[in-house]
Amino acid sequence: MIHSTYYRDMFGTAVMRAAFSDEARLESWLGVELALARAQVRARVIPAGVDERLAAVATVDRLDQDAMKVEFDRVGFPILPFVKELTKACDPETARWVHYGATTQDILDTGMVLQIRNGVKLVEEDLRGILAALASQARIYRNTVMAGRTFQQLAAPITLGYKLAVWLDELLRHHERVQQLKPRVLVGQCAGAVGTFATLGAKGLEVQREMMAELGLAVPPITWHTARDGWAELVALWAMIGATLAKIANEVAILMRSEVGELSEPFETGRGASTTLPQKRNPIACEPIIANAHRLREMVGSQLSAMVQEHERGVGQMHIEWMVVPESFVLLSGSLHHARFILENLVVDADAMRRNLDLGGGLLMSEAVMMGLAPKVGKAQAHHLAYAAAGRAMDEGGTLREALLADHEVSALLSEAEIEALLDPANYLGSAPAMVDAVLARYEAMGFAA
């Protein structure tokens, strides 16, 4: 689906697909080979000038990709046909030193890290947009009262700003995780067949340092050919972010329900239309976010499987990563794109929120009533009185207010004005607005604009 001309923009973005396209992959391999040559020239492993001559021909258009594909299908290793085509583009003297002392996995892994770096930048861009949208909406709706729900039933009042700030706080932690992850993932390597630099002898570590400086990547303390925890952490984090976005999408979809109507995706003519039901405005952007989250979760298991490798080079685990890592980026890009669209243009119906607070005759204020009675008669008795009044209201089809006023024991403890105050949702928000402020302060303290 992520490559289908018809479906692909539902599940991923064009810019992220481009970051992991064949063209981008070849560009990354060329960049790694050129950085290797430059490092070896500086370390006096290969003759001066080889790197400059290689730079003049190391372009994708000089590679016969059709010939590479035929050769790849035959030999089964992707770098050998690539190196063959690259050397064909070089003069004989330069060709002697191409891929000198390196192994296939060095180029594949370091090339993938370059693609990962570009992908992470795209993830961060959309994530920052989502954070900004949530921060703005949380400020606007800091005091907009709505029903809080537990077990999908009305529970007690909250504010929309509080709900949004909960999402914002969670995504701020994900942003922190991305920053913490980068030093562990944006690391290259070029250490030869078993990772010991034997082909380069005493110059190996120097060449790797120079090479990573050229590429702007960190230098590993030891070769990580079979140590794949960094990439497993990456895929797991993408799945976590995807799950958070799916939670948000699921909430928006539920609150779009006809009988709720409190939040909605942005609408434009024809969007979310049904082929049979003309009145429908379906939660179209929410659906792929939720679907992608399930796929991303499954990819974590696959990437964990890729960690289990034998000796100094495993059999088949690299191939798992070739499938999992790019697809995880593409799917996350789709989720981020749709979530950003929803949250930057979120439709809020405060009147519907107010109406829903009154559903069931104000029964969601039962806890407030109980806590208003508790200082007078103790928590247990207060619970009994509020529970009994709520039960009568439900059984008789009346309101909680009517049931409380008709209860002589309650009316002996609370005046009508006190009962009215306890039944006002705006009076029972606890520290919700203050917690919104705390999350917004954290957002700003992390360097995001107010």
Q: What is the pLDDT of residues 322-366, one digit of tens each?
A: 899 999 999 999 999 999 999 999 999 999 999 999 988 889 999
The answer to whether 264 is a known catalytic residue is no
> What are 26-79's pLDDT values in tens digits?
999 999 999 999 999 999 999 999 999 999 999 999 999 999 999 999 998 899
Helix (H) or strand (E) holding 332: helix 317-344
The answer to whether 62 is a known catalytic residue is no
Domain assignment present for residue 423? The answer is no
Q: Which domain holds residue 40?
A: 21-102+190-219
| Judgement on whether residues 153 and 40 belong to the same structural domain of the protein | no
| Judgement on whether residues 178 and 66 belong to the same structural domain of the protein | no
Q: How many angstroms separate the CA atoms of 421 and 127, rounded?
A: 41
| Judgement on whether residues 26 and 125 belong to the same structural domain of the protein | no
Residue 189 in 3-state DSSP? Answer: coil
- Domain CATH number, residue 197: 1.10.275.10
| Judgement on whether residues 178 and 76 belong to the same structural domain of the protein | no
DSSP 8-class letter at 153: E
Q: What is the pTM of this model?
A: 0.93
Q: What is the pLDDT of residue 426?
A: 95
Report whether 278 contacts 200 (CB < 8 A). Answer: no
Domain assignment present for residue 422? The answer is no
| Judgement on whether residues 117 and 262 belong to the same structural domain of the protein | yes
| Judgement on whether residues 402 and 334 belong to the same structural domain of the protein | no
The residues pairing with 149 across neighbouring beta strands, listed in sequence order, are: 154
Tell whether the model's pLDDT for residue 304 goes beyond 70: yes
- Domain CATH number, residue 235: 1.20.200.10
| Judgement on whether residues 215 and 80 belong to the same structural domain of the protein | yes
Q: How many angstroms separate the CA atoms of 224 and 6, rounded?
A: 39
Q: Which of 96, 173, 184, 274 is catalytic?
A: 274
Q: Which of 313, 354, 355, 392 is catalytic?
A: 313
- Tell me which residue of 189, 291, 174, 290 sits closest to 233, measured CA to CA: 174
Q: End of a domain among 169, 204, 219?
A: 219
Q: End of a domain among 168, 202, 219?
A: 219
Q: How many angstroms separate the CA atoms of 19 and 22, rounded?
A: 9
Q: What is the pLDDT of residue 354?
A: 95
For the chain, the domain total comes to 3
Tokens 């009305």 label which residue? 154
| Judgement on whether residues 321 and 254 belong to the same structural domain of the protein | yes
Name, in order, each residue with C-beta under 8 angstroms of 270's C-beta and a sequence gap of 6 or more.
none
> What are 250-283's pLDDT values in tens digits?
999 999 999 999 999 987 755 554 545 445 478 8
